[in-house]
Chains A and B, each alone.
Chain A
Amino acid sequence: AQSVTQPDIHITVSEGASLELRCNYSYGATPYLFWYVQSPGQGLQLLLKYFSGDTLVQGIKGFEAEFKRSQSSFNLRKPSVHWSDAAEYFCAVAAGGSQGNLIFGKGTKLSVKP
């Protein structure tokens, strides 16, 4: 069955430090992968997505993610975290079939220390 695992429930980093959020997926074919961000009390906003080609994907707000098929991973990174990055981050895979429903991980909450 298709699934997404985000091993870290909560991460705290200092402002200016680098960030890596982990995401592992289970999917039989080539996955369509997404990272979304949710600020407190808000809806979800797409940060970046991968479906083919270059395995390093650039997104908005200075984020990037690397697709590693051998490790079934799609980790999100940012070289220098800003206080405004404090939010919850969700990794998702598009399920099979033409409808492509999203299957979400349980999310990682990011706190940023000043």
Chain B
Amino acid sequence: NAGVTQTPKFQVLKTGQSMTLQCAQDMNHEYMSWYRQDPGMGLRLIHYSVGAGITDQGEVPNGYNVSRSTTEDFPLRLLSAAPSQTSVYFCASRQRGGRYNEQFFGPGTRLTVL
């Protein structure tokens, strides 16, 4: 199993550009989520999904869109990038069965918006 994979690893955007961060998992996990990590802020939840076709907002959803058409994939879209979205983005997944289940994290995407 590859676990949770994310592409790209690094990305530089100009203000106003759009892009999609890819996330895929091969563990048949129903729950998937996106976090951003900023220095001194820990990880903050952007969006999450409890299954194909179901998504919801987390703590910091503004400026981001998500969709979940398959169990495996959960892409994160930046429609018009802003410098405030410079961050490291992590995708995670877990089995839906209980809140005690471990979340597995991808290696992250480091995004810089100029």
Contact = CB atoms under 8 A, between A and B. Distances in A.
- Bound pair: A and B? yes
A93 B65 CA distance: 25
A67 interface: no
B98 to A, nearest CB: 7
A49 B100 contact: yes
B2 interface: no
Nearest to A106: B42
A90 B48 contact: no
Interface residues of B, number: 27
Interface string A19-42: 000000000000010101000001
B107 A43 contact: yes
Nearest to B54: A99
Contact of B100 (A32, A43, A98): A32
Contact of A104 (B43, B48, B100, B102): B43
A56 interface: no
A46 B103 CA distance: 8
B90 interface: yes
Interface of B: 4, 31, 33, 35, 40-45, 48, 50, 56, 58, 90, 92, 96, 98-103, 105-108
Nearest to B50: A99
A90 B107 CA distance: 16
Interface residues of A, number: 24
A81 to B, nearest CB: 22
Name which of A42, A44, A49, A95 has the most chain B CB atoms within 10 A of its CB: A44
Given A43-B90, A90-B42, A105-B42, A100 B99 contact: yes
Nearest to B49: A99
A83 interface: no
A43 B102 contact: no
Contact of A101 (B4, B33, B108): B33
B105 A102 contact: no
A64 B45 CA distance: 26
B40 A101 contact: no
Given A99-B31, A102-B45, A32 B102 contact: no
